[in-house]
Structure 1
Amino acid sequence: MTTDTRATRSRLPALTWTTVVPPLAVVVLALTWGRKFDGTTGAVVVTLVAVVLGAAVLAAVHHAEVVAHRVGEPFGSLVLAVAVTVIEVALILTLMISGGPETQSLARDTVFAAVMITVNGIVGVSLLVGALRHGIPAFNAEGTGGALATVVTLATLCLVLPTFTTSRPGPELSSGQLVFAAIASLTLWIAFVLTQTVRHRDFFLPVATDGSGTLDEDVHADPPTNRTAYISLGLLLASLVAVVGLAKVESPAIEKAVAGVGFPPSFVGVVIALLVLLPETLAAVRAAQRERIQISLNLALGSAMASIGLTIPAIAVASIWLDGPLLLGLDPTQITLLAVTIVAAVLTVVPGRATRLQAAVHLVLLAAFLFLAVSP
């Protein structure tokens, strides 16, 4: 293959759906933001927004993979995890500012849902896909174990302890405790990022199934050019902004649908987490299909970590002008699910290899979470 041929293949094709959808989604967002649509027109608009939202999610996954291929692992996973989480924080704050008392627990519901979806859903699906396609998928237990330990610590500090503290009535932290939780969360997240990208980068690279060593780069294709990567980065950010913005536009319809089927209001947080994490889920599954289970785990645990480590500090700052209490503590059912998830995840990570059984365990835990979220 000549240099010219490789350069041609690495360029972004003009006017493909992946280049058209992000700006189109932003235009649709601009036309629908802050407007109310009723009757038949409203139903048509909601359907159109849902279609564009799904297309924007798929476009985000494509451009995230282009950027990840250019910068290499684990930086590629970090780019998507941080980008999605920053937009998730913006969506939570937007809904909390515009909502009423029922949004006081929205941050907790969304963050807890993100943890359960990533640690059980993304991990479970990735392991299942990897096991079905490649036998017994392998990964680096040292790096994955460190990521899991960070997630567990963050979840305990920010979601479990508020249930048991006594400075404030109810499952909330005092001002001083919230500041400590925010600083601790941000510190742990920064420490992990430095470990993942600087000191021990090799702990987070894909591992060969036969244990022969790490797979540093994807050998199936040449990396894209800098120009292609920059274009994809811009389109990725546009896609993510559109995804969350359109999700906000859809939120009234989501809330009505949740109430209409008799689900508790807290289920709105689950829907938000599902929408926001869809790009990472698809990217993780594609990585598992390519025998890059470590990338899938980087995405899953990195997303759970960023969801807590970035959301709690942002919420702590926003609480200065937010009305009402900030409910962060989990209820007994949620704490039980989190505890079982932690035990199962530890037993999955320690061997550095997983089978379909571990995948089934995590997927059943995800199903239990979703079922109990609907029927608490």
Structure 2
Amino acid sequence: MSKVFWLEQRFKINLPAWTVIAPVLAFVLLAIHLVAHPTGALVYSLTAVGLIGAVFSAVHHAEVIAHKVGEPFGTLVLAVAVTIIEVALIVVLMSSSSPEDRAVLARDTVYSAVMIVCNAIVGLCLLTGGLRNYIQGFELEGVKKAVSVLLILALMVFMLPNFTTSLSGGSMLNSQLIFLAVCCLVMYGAFLFTQTIRHRNYFVTELETQSHHSDNMLTIALSGGLLLVGLVTVVGLAKMLSPLIESTLVAMGLPKVVLGIIIAGLVLLPESIAAVKAAYNDQLQNSLNLALGSALASISLTIPVIAIYGVVTGNELILGLSPKDDMMLMVTLLLLMNTLSTGKSTFLQGVMHLVMFATFIFFSIVP
């Protein structure tokens, strides 16, 4: 695979040429969108190509960093980076939405992200890894702790608002929002301390503990910068495509919640590809670290920011799900607890999660 010749010769930077060129070109395309606001079929086609290039380059740079810093820090880099940019995207979209759409945008996006992670990404990882490697093992203690924290956060954020009596319709008082935000940050902080310091061995396999990478610091620094550029570009280009997607959905008579699913799916593409690739290479622990870490970060980092946004601006926020989505979330969490309860996985578990994801998509389109 060709390298960027002058970077390799002068600085010993070991990166394929396309991983440098793709995010730069995609970023230029985003800048053109922001300055000139072009439209047309060709423009949207180039935007989609740029988005795909940015996604694949972001995955590569995340893997370079992950190999260098080791697990579980490597998977944490991509999960947190994507989530921070996802939060920024939600805030930007909320500022330009109608009051009705603004009230549910954060809920729909984060809920969609959790369902995509827990069903689509986990399902694809288990299916791909099971078909390729027959039976795969993972560190049960670490996965159980991640699922337990995810269970608490999901129930507090999406179900508790439906049972409070101060306000109706899934809304919460400012004091309740602030309390919820603090709980999210405390739980996520405790999980990160457990994952990276106190019980790091619960989240890595013996092989991953012994692995190392030989790339120099210049390569790592460049990968870090290009990862950030790639992630910003993914979110930016996804936002540029959202009007076309929304108008298409309206023309097809589909509910607006589908837009949140599509945007969440686009933002989660880098993590999805990285997780499935790790499972294919018999590194299921990496896949689960990335998938579950993404779901945790999506809730724990998004909800506090959105809560502060709601308190400061005075905009109504609806976090409580509908009864149908409550049931879908509970089934997903129960399925996740069951399929990851033994420390081993087969392709059958992946099929179950993918069927659940298909059910989520179908009943979002046909409620």
TM-score, structure 2 as length reference: 0.94
What residue number does 2:207 align with? 215
Q: Say whether the 8 Å CA contact 1:121–1:362 is kept in structure 2.
A: yes
Query: CA 1:238–1:218 in structure 2 vs 1: closer, same or farther (change >3 Å)?
Result: farther
Deviation at 1:290, TM superposition (A): 1.4
Deviation at 1:15, TM superposition (A): 7.1
What residue number does 2:17 align with? 16
What CA distance in whole angstroms lies between the structure 2 residues aligned with 1:176 and 1:243? 35
The more displaced of 166-175 and 276-285 is: 166-175
Number of residue pairs aligned between Structure 1 and Structure 2: 358
What residue number does 1:210 align with? none
Give the residue type in structure 1 aligned to 2:50. Answer: V
| Aligned positions of 1:1-376 closer than 5 A | 11-13=12-14, 16-33=17-34, 36-37=37-38, 41-101=39-99, 102-206=101-205, 214-217=206-209, 219=211, 222-322=213-313, 324-376=315-367
Q: Secondary structure at the match of 1:215?
A: helix
Deviation at 1:36, TM superposition (A): 4.2
Q: Secondary structure at the match of 1:320?
A: helix
Q: Say whether the 8 Å CA contact 1:163–1:170 is kept in structure 2.
A: yes
Q: Secondary structure at the match of 2:214?
A: coil
Q: Say whether the 8 Å CA contact 1:125–1:359 is kept in structure 2.
A: yes
Query: CA 1:323–1:247 in structure 2 vs 1: closer, same or farther (change >3 Å)?
Result: farther
- Deviation track 1:86-113 (CA, whole Å, cap 9, x = no partner) reads 0000001100001112232111111111
From the two aligned structures, give the one with the greater helix fraction.
2
Q: Say whether the 8 Å CA contact 2:15–2:219 is kept in structure 1.
A: no
TM-score, structure 1 as length reference: 0.92
Q: Say whether the 8 Å CA contact 1:34–1:249 is kept in structure 2.
A: no
- Deviation track 1:41-93 (CA, whole Å, cap 9, x = no partner) reads 52221111111011100110000000000000000010000000000000011
Give the residue type in structure 2 aligned to 1:87. Answer: I
RMSD over aligned Cα, in angstroms? 1.8
Give the residue type in structure 1 aligned to 2:43. Answer: V
Deviation at 1:12, TM superposition (A): 3.8
Runs of 4+ in 1 over 3 A off after TM superposition: 8-15, 34-37, 320-324
The more displaced of 97-106 and 307-316 is: 97-106
- Deviation track 1:249-304 (CA, whole Å, cap 9, x = no partner) reads 11111111111211101111101110011100000011111111011000111000
Q: Say whether the 8 Å CA contact 1:195–1:201 is kept in structure 2.
A: yes
- Deviation track 1:208-233 (CA, whole Å, cap 9, x = no partner) reads xxxxxx222575x7432221111101
Q: Say whether the 8 Å CA contact 1:148–1:301 is kept in structure 2.
A: yes
Deviation at 1:321, TM superposition (A): 4.3
What residue number does 2:3 align with? none
What CA distance in whole angstroms lies between the structure 2 residues aligned with 1:23 and 1:218? 34
What CA distance in whole angstroms lies between the structure 2 residues aligned with 1:160 and 1:23? 42
What CA distance in whole angstroms lies between the structure 2 residues aligned with 1:190 and 1:158? 17
Give the residue type in structure 1 aligned to 2:248. Answer: A
Unaligned 5+ segments in structure 2 are: 1-7
What CA distance in whole angstroms lies between the structure 2 residues aligned with 1:223 and 1:69? 9
Q: Secondary structure at the match of 2:144?
A: helix
Query: CA 1:34–1:329 in structure 2 vs 1: closer, same or farther (change >3 Å)?
Result: farther
- Deviation track 1:111-133 (CA, whole Å, cap 9, x = no partner) reads 11111111111111101111111
Give the residue type in structure 2 aligned to 1:96. Answer: M
What CA distance in whole angstroms lies between the structure 2 residues aligned with 1:267 and 1:34? 29
Unaligned 5+ segments in structure 1 are: 1-7, 207-213
Query: CA 1:303–1:11 in structure 2 vs 1: closer, same or farther (change >3 Å)?
Result: farther
Between the aligned residues of both structures, percent identity stands at 48
What CA distance in whole angstroms lies between the structure 1 residues aligned with 2:147 and 2:12? 37
Give the residue type in structure 1 aligned to 2:32. Answer: L
